[in-house]
Amino acid sequence: MTYIKFGPNADFETINNKIHDFFGEFPNIDFNVNFSFKPKVDYYKDNDNIYIDLEIPGIKKEDIKVSFKENILTVSGDKKDQAKNIKANELVKSERSFGAFSRSFQFTEEIDPDSINASFEDGVLKINVKKEIKKTNQEKEIKIK
């Protein structure tokens, strides 16, 4: 199988390879670029609702927390490193990112925290928020369906 470099991190891999080539004769030098996990988001709205879709592949629903406080919706969790159980001499390449993450969204509209719905299916967390005026300073945890 041939590995073809593609993607936004290719430039960093090129730099990584050049450093390895330059310092190749020194066995203990290891320069790896590790990007932590940050879910990709689609954020859109219509007249009545705000929609937020987050791609969170490889994580369990139970490991995701959605909360709302002071007009800010926060999604957080921890994506586990699946490659850590592989012996170092057996791992050829690992490009997946992992780690703790948190994404926050501040709404310009006042919303009702009781109207927030979240569902998680096929690695996508879908959040629906109805635009309603109801202020609260209490933190509310949203249950994921």
Per-residue pLDDT at 98: 79
Q: Which helix (H) or strand (E) holds 11?
A: helix 10-22
Q: Both 44 and 23 in a single domain?
A: no
DSSP structural state of residue 123 = T
Nearest partner of 57 among 124, 104, 138, judged by Cα: 124
Q: Both 85 and 22 in a single domain?
A: no
The domain in which residue 115 lies consists of 35-142
As a whole number of angstroms, the distance between CA 35 and CA 63 comes to: 20
Nearest partner of 37 among 97, 87, 77, 93, judged by Cα: 97
As a whole number of angstroms, the distance between CA 103 and CA 75 comes to: 5
* Entry pTM: 0.64
- What is the CATH classification number for the domain harbouring 86? 2.60.40.790
Other Cβ atoms less than 10 A from the Cβ of 47: the count is 5
Least confident of 37-41, 103-107, 133-137: 133-137
Number of domains in the chain: 2
User: What digits encode the pLDDT tens for the residues 35-55?
Assistant: 577 899 999 999 889 999 999
